[in-house]
């Protein structure tokens, strides 16, 4: 495992081009297995999770080339319907190969997926969607087995939670199912919409993308396509949190303003102003942030939720940024009960924080942080630690940096472009 050595107080600001969306391209790779035609994806981030999905695809019979952000991918023949346990355990989205394997082979066998340990992460939506569409599931406590000898059949479905990956699984399964599928309470994050747009480019008939109701008319066959992956709004938000916490100017290129309306509102509550342009965002430096109280002088609460509410993946970085703003705010992480635990590392760095319970933490700033040695528990907490280390006095060491690299492309290079003194060990 790699480690990052970070010297605090070195950030000067600058410009960063946002990479392709991690959470869009991972399900896209699974969806490309639906066809035997060749596809080309542009703006694909070179991160560990992408390579894991490609490793799984190759184990099933796919071939690809990946260079300078362009992925050329094809799978003429699926050689097996079983995904090895070691590959499944590397990330969360390995479960998304269930739908294309059912479409191509009529059966699929997978092991439980891996991914960040941020609390219980239900798979019920996946199993509900696949079985309601006609798959038969067998669970032997070690593997998840699915069969659909007669194919899948479209129908009306209602998710009990707007799960992103369950929505993606159902999309991938329904595009070649017989008849029409209507999915209610679907996730509508930008990466879900981007997946739907790619599937439509392959010949699917999906309407309602970007809303909570998706209508999918099944088609007999899909073809290859060419598609450009949308930008990663979580990476963009992470760098905005970094600039805000360090008080330096940051300009982000390659952004779509509609993806940042809620983020801008939360940052305004914490005392930072930014300007959203057609294809870039400007966060000025030298701001003197003060947390905005609720009407009547009450402590504000920053909560996450399903899109278009504040993304859960932004909570860790935003909590760190709040330590550098004057005032008090409560952060309520509703979606995952273990995401808040990384705050213990912030407290060891000097942050004024009270962890109320597994879901809530109160932050009072402004705190002078100091460098420590710590270990990254998950992708987003790892990036939050990088932000804290760059705001701290002295040097910090962040172990298990490979975890961060699962979600952030060329992280060290981008940090250095902002003036950071950071090295790898």
Instruction: Parse the chain into domains and list their residue ranges.
Output: 4-19+231-424, 22-228
Residue 411 in this model has a pLDDT that exceeds 70: yes
What's the rounded Cα separation, in Å, for the pair 91 and 113? 6
pLDDT tens sequence across 105-161: 999 999 999 865 555 568 999 999 999 999 999 988 789 999 998 999 999 999 999
Q: What is the pLDDT of residue 116?
A: 58
For residue 356, count other CB atoms closer than 10 A to its CB: 13
Residue 23 in this model has a pLDDT that exceeds 60: yes
Residue 288 in this model has a pLDDT that exceeds 70: yes
Q: Are 32 and 69 in contact (CB under 8 A)?
A: no
CATH of domain 4-19+231-424: 3.65.10.10
Q: What is the pLDDT of residue 339?
A: 86
pTM: 0.96
| pLDDT > 70 fraction of the chain, expressed in percent and rounded | 98
pLDDT tens sequence across 38-56: 999 999 999 999 999 999 9
Residue 326 in this model has a pLDDT that exceeds 70: yes
Query: In the structure, what pLDDT confidence band is assigned to residue 204 with cuts at 50, 70 and 90?
Result: very high
Q: What is the pLDDT of residue 239?
A: 98
Which listed CATH number (3.30.1540.10, 3.40.80.10, 3.90.1170.50, 3.65.10.10) goes with 22-228? 3.65.10.10
Domains 4-19+231-424 and 22-228 equal at CATH topology level: yes
**pLDDT (average), residues 219-246:** 98
What's the rounded Cα separation, in Å, for the pair 98 and 105? 10
Q: Are 384 and 342 in contact (CB under 8 A)?
A: yes
**E strand residue ranges, 20-168:** 39-42, 63-67, 70-74, 107-110, 136-139, 144-147, 156-158
Question: Which sequence positions are flagged as catalytic?
Answer: 116
**pLDDT (average), residues 58-67:** 98
3-state secondary structure of 277: coil
Q: What is the pLDDT of residue 115?
A: 67
């Amino acid at each position: 495992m790699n480690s990052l050595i970070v010297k605090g107080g070195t950030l000067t600001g600058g410009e960063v081009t946002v990479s392709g969306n991690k959470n869009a391209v991972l399900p896209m790779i699974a969806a490309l297995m639906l066809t035997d035609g060749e596809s080309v994806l542009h703006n694909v981030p070179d991160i560990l999770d992408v390579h894991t999905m490609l490793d799984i695809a190759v184990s099933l019979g796919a071939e690809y080339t990946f260079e300078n952000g362009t992925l050329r991918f094809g799978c003429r023949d699926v050689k097996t319907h079983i995904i090895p346990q070691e590959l499944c355990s590397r990330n969360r989205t390995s479960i998304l190969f269930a739908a294309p394997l059912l479409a191509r082979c009529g059966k699929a066998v997978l092991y439980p997926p891996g991914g960040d340990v941020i609390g219980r992460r239900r798979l019920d939506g996946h199993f509900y969607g696949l079985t309601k569409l006609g798959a038969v599931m067998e669970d032997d406590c070690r593997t998840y087995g699915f069969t659909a000898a007669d194919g899948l059949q479209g129908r009306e479905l209602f998710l009990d939670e707007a799960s992103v990956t369950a929505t993606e699984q159902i999309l991938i399964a329904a595009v070649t199912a017989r008849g029409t599928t209507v999915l209610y309470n679907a996730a509508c994050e930008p990466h879900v919409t981007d997946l739907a747009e790619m599937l439509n480019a392959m010949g699917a008939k999906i309407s309602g993308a970007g809303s909570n109701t998706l209508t999918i008319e099944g088609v007999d066959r899909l073809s290859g396509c060419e598609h450009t992956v949308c930008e990663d709004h979580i990476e963009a938000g992470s760098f905005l949190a970094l600039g805000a916490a360090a008080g330096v100017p940051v300009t982000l290129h390659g952004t779509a303003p509609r993806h940042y309306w809620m983020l801008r509102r939360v940052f305004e509550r914490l005392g930072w102003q930014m300007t959203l342009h057609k294809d870039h965002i400007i966060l000025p430096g030298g701001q003197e942030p003060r947390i905005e109280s609720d009407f009547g002088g009450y402590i504000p609460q920053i909560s996450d939720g399903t899109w278009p509410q504040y993304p859960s993946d932004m909570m860790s970085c935003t909590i760190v940024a709040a330590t550098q703003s004057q005032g008090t705010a409560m952060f309520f992480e509703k979606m995952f009960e273990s995401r808040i635990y990384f705050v213990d590392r912030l407290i060891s760095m000097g942050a004024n924080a009270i962890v109320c319970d597994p879901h809530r933490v109160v932050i009072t700033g402004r705190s002078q942080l100091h460098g420590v040695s710590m270990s990254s528990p998950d992708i987003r907490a790892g990036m939050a630690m990088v932000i804290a280390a760059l705001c701290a006095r002295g040097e910090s060491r962040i172990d298990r940096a490979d975890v961060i690299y699962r979600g952030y492309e060329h992280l060290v290079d981008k940090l250095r472009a902002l003036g950071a003194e950071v090295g790898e060990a």
